[in-house]
């Protein structure tokens, strides 16, 4: 009731005027009207009230009367109060709605003119689907550390599984490789596999490279360390893995596996098989001085003179090679021949065989059981392989040996 009275005080009702209701009535129309009892003469009928307009004319120079809207607000005490200003939370909601409307207009202006599917999307959804912006420092870090940089053409072909790097260089020299429609005869040409179109013998090179693979193989006797798929090649032991590659990895070219270093045909034991050329070069190069452990089984008896000769070393390929460790192992009940543990780091061809021969011993069998800090798993059978784990790479690179 108080709100109604306040509203009436600030907003007077306009003047009303009675308008006679005129209607043309036909003369033939008859009315049957009955009236109630006449009022008592003692009762005086109130005169009808009429609204009279305000005779005073408004002053044009006077300031206009402000329009006040009453607000009924519930206070902190829970009681309703009347005030002439809107509540603070109402003003805040209006300001937030206004800002949201401006943000939506900005997003709509950034959208392309042909975008109709997302024209009516909310501003929050449009902000998540719009292309993110990165600073120059972020783009520089991506280009230097994450994005693959252009590489030599011969290296890209070898990584794609075309052939060995040396064979890829021969293909390039023979003019069988084209880059962006032009014959390229320089293996050092820098190419970007994601941007450049490369053809080898008329076949286009896939834009995707196979992932890097690393295996530890227990090489049997009689197999050669060759990258070919010959029946007596180490790679032939991965025949089932390569045959199922297309099914398990659709769209990716088949990897070209090869051995890291070599073991001669009569030597058994641990050898690493991969398709990562940089990794193979880092592990097998003599400058890495990576320790390799062998178990040599010899005929006859081993005395101190033999052990002394082994420790003094011998000349291999014009370089005097001295082993890091020579140890006579304890006899086993099921083995009649003595066994020697020999650790070398030079990585020369037939180095262990030359050491045993120079000491005056007859070698019966030779098995490699360790590279760096990584050892051949005892439960890995001949001809079987296991994929290397992340922790194995530190052992292969000799970090465990450096700590000791």
59, 192, 230, 264: which one is catalytic?
264
Q: How far apart are CA 195 and CA 115, in angstroms?
A: 28
Residues in a beta bridge with 297: 339, 365
326 by Cβ neighbours in 10 Å (0-12 / 13-18 / 19+) ranks as buried
Residue pair 311/323 in contact (Cβ under 8 Å)? The answer is yes
Biggest CA pair distance of the chain? 159
CB-based contacts of 17: which residues, under 8 Å, 6+ apart? 51
| E strands, 60-153, in order | 71-74, 80-83, 151-152
Q: How far apart are CA 303 and CA 308, in angstroms?
A: 9
| E strands, 180-337, in order | 182-183, 190-191, 198-200, 203-204, 214-219, 258-260, 268-274, 292-299, 314-316, 319-321, 325-328
CB-based contacts of 6: which residues, under 8 Å, 6+ apart? 70, 82
| E strands, 33-176, in order | 71-74, 80-83, 151-152
Q: What number of residues does the chain have?
A: 404
Residue pair 145/188 in contact (Cβ under 8 Å)? The answer is no
Q: SS3 of 290, please?
A: coil
Torsion over CA: 7, 9, 10, 14 (sign): positive
CA atoms within 13 A of residue 34's CA, in its CB half-sphere: 1
24 by Cβ neighbours in 10 Å (0-12 / 13-18 / 19+) ranks as exposed
Q: How far apart are CA 73 and CA 84, in angstroms?
A: 10
Q: How far apart are CA 398 and CA 324, in angstroms?
A: 14
Q: How far apart are CA 255 and CA 29, in angstroms?
A: 110
Question: Residue 264 catalytic?
Answer: yes
* Conformational region of residue 180, where left means phi above 0, alpha means psi within -120 to 50, and beta covers everything else: left
Active-site annotation, residues:
264
């Amino acid at each position: 009731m108080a709100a109604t009275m306040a509203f009436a005080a600030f907003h007077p009702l306009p003047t009303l005027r009675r308008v006679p209701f005129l209607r043309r009535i036909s003369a033939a129309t008859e009315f049957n009207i009955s009236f109630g009892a006449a009022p008592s003469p003692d009762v005086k009928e109130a005169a009808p009230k009429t609204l009279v307009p305000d005779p005073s004319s408004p002053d044009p120079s006077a300031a206009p009367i402000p329009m006040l809207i009453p607000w009924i607000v519930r206070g902190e005490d829970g009681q309703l109060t009347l005030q002439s200003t809107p509540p603070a939370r109402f003003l805040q909601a209006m300001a937030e709605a206004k800002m949201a409307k401006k943000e939506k207009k900005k997003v709509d202006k950034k959208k392309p003119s042909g975008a109709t599917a997302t024209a009516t999307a909310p501003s929050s959804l449009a902000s998540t689907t719009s292309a993110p912006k990165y600073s120059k420092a972020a783009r520089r870090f991506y280009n230097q550390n994450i994005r693959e940089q252009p590489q030599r053409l011969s290296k890209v072909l070898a990584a794609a599984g075309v052939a060995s790097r040396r064979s890829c260089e021969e293909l390039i020299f023979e003019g069988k490789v084209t880059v962006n429609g032009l014959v390229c005869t320089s293996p050092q040409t820098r190419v970007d596999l994601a941007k450049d179109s490369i053809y080898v013998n008329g076949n286009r090179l896939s834009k995707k490279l196979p992932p890097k693979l690393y295996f530890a193989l227990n090489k049997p006797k009689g197999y050669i360390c060759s990258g070919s798929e010959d029946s007596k090649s180490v790679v032939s032991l991965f025949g089932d893995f390569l045959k199922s590659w297309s099914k398990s990895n659709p769209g990716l070219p088949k990897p070209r596996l090869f051995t890291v270093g070599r073991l001669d045909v009569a030597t058994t034991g641990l050898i690493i098989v991969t398709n990562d050329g940089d990794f193979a070069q880092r592990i097998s190069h003599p400058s890495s001085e990576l320790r390799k452990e062998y178990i040599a089984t010899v005929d006859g008896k081993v005395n101190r003179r033999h052990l002394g000769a082994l420790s003094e070393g011998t000349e291999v390929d014009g370089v005097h090679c001295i082993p890091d460790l020579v140890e006579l192992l304890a006899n086993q009940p099921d083995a009649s021949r003595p066994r020697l543990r020999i650790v070398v780091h030079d990585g020369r061809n037939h180095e262990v065989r030359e050491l045993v021969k120079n000491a005056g011993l007859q070698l019966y069998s030779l098995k490699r059981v360790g590279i760096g800090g990584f050892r051949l798993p005892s439960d890995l059978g001949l001809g079987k392989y296991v994929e290397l784990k992340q922790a194995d790479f530190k052992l292969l690179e000799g970090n465990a040996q450096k700590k000791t």
